Chain A
Amino acid sequence: MSTAESIRAGDIRLASRLIRNLEDKNPRARELVKELFPYTGKARVLGLTGAPGAGKSTITDYLISSYRATGQQVGVLAVDPTSPFSGGAILGDRVRMQKHAQDRGVFIRSLATRGALGGLAAAVDDAVHVLDAMGMDCIILETVGTGQSEVDVMNNAHSVILTLTPGLGDEVQTLKAGIMEIADLFLINKADQKGASKLYQELMRMLNMAQEHHAGWRPPVLLLQNIAHPEEFARQVEEVRNKIDEHYQVLLDKDILGQRERRKARLQLGNSLRASLLDPVVRQLEQSGEMDRLVRQIVDKTSDPHTLADELRDRFLR
């Protein structure tokens, strides 16, 4: 069996290795994605975003159970921030999902942002393809949740779910940061805590003011509470899943899905084009030591970044 075939057959370790090679920008990894790409397009992709401490991983944990109960295979890509100082990262999201560790129908892979700013990791585009080709019915993307505008998730997911909690103090900011427009579904987690009803009212007010969403889909607001009673919490998450399904149906009915897919394809082509044009150039410049020389020119003011870039373009794109 070829590597691609093994991955398609569900070899988790190989798939995880491929994702790592993608993270490492290994050229061979791109070749493998090319082989896998024809087998993608079946998975539904959910994006889960919200501030740290909002309970994203716990909700993911329950969503996994909910999808598993319907017999679907679930993949999770959980993203945590890379330390800008060391380049290392602590990937701790899976702690809250460890009860699924032994379920072969669940594949959880943690990724570090490695400098990406949009709330996901650069390799997520392709990692989604890998999980999709493996036959995952549902793929959940869990963003970093640093509070910055995590708009990358919109380009990768069919449904975007924004989780808010009372008492974190940054709810309104989060809403103002423009993330409002990208969410298809709002969750108020820990709704039994102080400040929940105020948050709910604020959210409803902003939703009422917002312009019409796609095809008349008005993003619903769901409350999650009573985490102390797992059965009850599971029932509420069940309701979330129903809403996600409803949203997906709207996407299908109104051909919004097509629009989203085209947008996604356009962005991915752009990203990939940048990577295939740029990465080899940068690599060559670094390896030959020319990069250092160019950097000095900019610092010494003997040239400027734009002039140098134009020169490089002319040289490499001849």
Chain B
Amino acid sequence: MAERNLRVMVAKPGLDGHDRGARVLARSFRDAGYEVIYTGCHQTPEQIVEAALQEDVDLIGLSCLSGAHKHLFPRVVRLLEERDAGDIPVIGGGIIPDKDISYLYEQGIREVFTPGTHLQTILDWIENNVASREAL
């Protein structure tokens, strides 16, 4: 069987435009051999979920620095579930205080990365936790 490239979405929900982290991450994912679907800034959870379905991604990485992560991240998870795609893991990053992290876990966010996290830590997490989708 030929190799199966991971397809990973890097999405920026919310109204902030601080995309430095998201862009560095997208490049690092590319350099790790993933096919990265980048959505650009200012995406609603609805847009992110529809794009994820159309692109058949193995992982959605959300980046938000506006402080609205408590609203936006869980909403992405809910919408995926509604579209029968709750199996796509969602991870999040941004300026997220410790006390919000446990809430996000409860809401189905699989992992949360805060500023200063090494890129390698994120890549390791993906290698250990995300599998490419099964063939039809």
Contacts and interface: CB of A to CB of B under 8 A. Distances in A.
Q: Find out whether A and B make contact in their complex, taking CB atoms under 8 A apart as touching.
A: yes
Interface of A: 3, 12-14, 16-21, 23-26, 28-29, 32, 82-83, 85-92, 94-96, 98, 101-102, 107-110, 112, 114, 283
B70 to A, nearest CB: 23
Contact of A17 (B3, B39, B56): B56
Contacts of A13: 53-54, 56, 85
Given A12-B54, A90-B36, A32 B136 contact: yes
Interface of B: 1-5, 7, 26-27, 29-40, 43, 46-48, 50-51, 53-56, 85, 133, 135-136
Contact of A85 (B3, B31, B36): B31
Given A28-B135, A110-B55, A102 B47 contact: yes
A313 B66 CA distance: 62
Given A86-B30, A86-B32, A110-B55, 6 more contacts: A16-B56, A17-B133, A20-B7, A25-B2, A88-B5, A90-B38
Contacts of B27: 90
Contacts of B29: 88
B17 to A, nearest CB: 13
Contact of A12 (B2, B48, B53): B53
11 contacts: A3-B136, A18-B136, A29-B135, A88-B5, A91-B36, A92-B40, A96-B40, A98-B47, A102-B50, A108-B51, A114-B5
B85 to A, nearest CB: 7
A134 to B, nearest CB: 12
A24 B2 contact: yes
A5 B79 CA distance: 25
Q: Classify the interface of chain B: helix, strand, loop or mixed.
A: mixed
Given A26-B2, A91-B35, A91-B36, A83 B30 contact: yes
Nearest to B83: A13
A98 B39 contact: yes
A47 to B, nearest CB: 20
B30 A21 contact: no
Contact of B136 (A29, A83, A98): A29
A65 to B, nearest CB: 16
Contacts of B34: 88
Contact of A95 (B1, B40, B56): B40
Contacts of B53: 12-13, 16
A26 B135 contact: yes
B69 to A, nearest CB: 20
A196 to B, nearest CB: 28
Nearest to B36: A90
B110 to A, nearest CB: 19
Contacts of B54: 12-13, 16, 101, 107-109
Nearest to A7: B136
Nearest to B27: A90
Given A18-B136, A87-B5, A94 B56 contact: no
B32 A98 contact: no
B31 A88 contact: yes
B35 A88 contact: yes
B37 to A, nearest CB: 5
A21 B31 contact: no
Contact of B35 (A29, A95, A112): A112
Contacts of B40: 92, 95-96, 98
Nearest to B10: A90
